[in-house]
Chains A and B, each alone.
Chain A
Amino acid sequence: MEIKTRNEGTRLTISVSGRVDTVTAPELEAGLKFGDAECVVIDLADVPYMSSAGLRLLLTAHKTMLARGGELQIAGVQPSVKEVLDITGFSGILNLV
């Protein structure tokens, strides 16, 4: 798994590359550091699939940003990931862009 972070003022973009599952989730969790950014974008364009281990991280991140009055955006969702988000009802919670 590869995680790249790009900072543009108060906007933080985290690009994830590779599958997100039970094995890789701890790695992703470690990479999700938001600093004091007001808007965080997690780009999943290079994530082929994601299991519920990844969903847990996305939900935690979403709640964190909400608590501090910021915003979390999920970008570049692939069909396989979208299917999982739809089944679990996460599409309705997360801010997909």
Chain B
Amino acid sequence: MKPLSIPILRRGQFYESLDRTELKDIRTGAVIAEVSQANAGMIRRDSRSTSRDALRRIPAEKLIRICEEAGYLFMEADLPLGDRQSQSPQSYVACLSATTGLPHALVRRNMQKIHQVFTQMSTILRGLTRGLEWRILDHGVGEQAGVPVSYFCTADSLGVVLPSNSPGVNSLWMPSIPLKVPVVLKPGREEPWTPLRIIQAFVAAGCPPEAFSFYPTDHEGSATIMDVCQRALIFGDQSTVERYASNPAVQVHGPGWSKVIIGSDQVARWRDYLDVIVSSIAENGGRSCINASAILVPAEGDAIAEALAQRLAAITPLPFDDPQAQLAGFANPKMAEAINAMIEEGLKTPGAEEVTAKYRAGSRLVERDGSTYLQPTLIRCRDFRHPLANREFLFPYASLIEMPQERMLEEMGSSLVVTAITDDPDFIQKLISSPVIDRLNIGPMPTSRVQWDQPHEGNLFEFLYRRRAIQRVAVS
């Protein structure tokens, strides 16, 4: 089969570059696509004129309707991949799976999530704006809860440097379009498919094409996007987080260090919560920052660890198109090897034991059908300071630590999501007051559960808009 050609989008215009990278099937090495690469100068040049007016002219209410239509098209339609070719939803699933290792079942689940973002856009925007009337977005002034308000946009475009780990991360930038801010996207190396398909769904539903730039590019190109966009989202590791920590124009999505904690009041019933914990660790192939990477319990640590390990070890690599597949292969086998080596190294420090090893078929690092996998791993750490206790890896990995409930909040450090299984009002109040928890789920629900009317990772509206005081008297 002739490889597909993935173009650059320069403010909605397709552009075929002379620099291309090959995207390969991670199992067979067959070239699936050639991806046009943007040079940094091009990105800089394109950024000199704004395309914000194209979105500003369209009422927010209409943009929300466009999102609903786009959601349908994203799921069902053949959408352009360039000037001369289009891609069916089936081909999208197969290509994305082949180049990232995400099994079809998980790709479809991510599609559903993206579909929900499209179709629930009105709810999402209400959550982000705390119920702002749409016409305030159109005119910049109005009234909210009896209070006069005026908001202005702080950016001509939103730059987004995307990762390849999960298609779901695209949900974070999508509200930018109904918020009337054009996007400049740098897709992850192995995953140009989803952002391009989302863009094409928006356009097919009636969004002005010039609101979308899509630049597959190198490090220099990424840095240029961060530089030329007045607001930018970036996904990266801790060093990325630190690099942009003091830059208010950049929202960094780094490691989540998400956790499940069980309160003293509920720990005796731990068997009831195993499903929630396993989902929290292993959903979406364990590849998201909202997957739990540490489980904190006040008692019964060994028993809970054994039971969890047994369940996690039952999750094994399956063919990409198996509907039961839950694990993702690694696009880069060296990364799997490096992660495996890090865990082995960590286990040399006393105070940690891998519980999954004895229940698992084969070793942690395995190959199946030409693809490299890391099988689920649970480490029982005696102390939260152990090097493996608060780590996050790109597969179902978690540590389990027993510690008194009163020490949990002070020791656990910052966490993107905490699922706290407790009914203790004092403990719940302490959790609510804690500044280290970004999103708090109280009760037995997986860390991945999202409620669309609340901001789920930063607030894009507050990032893109600022409120000003406005006063007016009539001219006599």
Same assembly: no
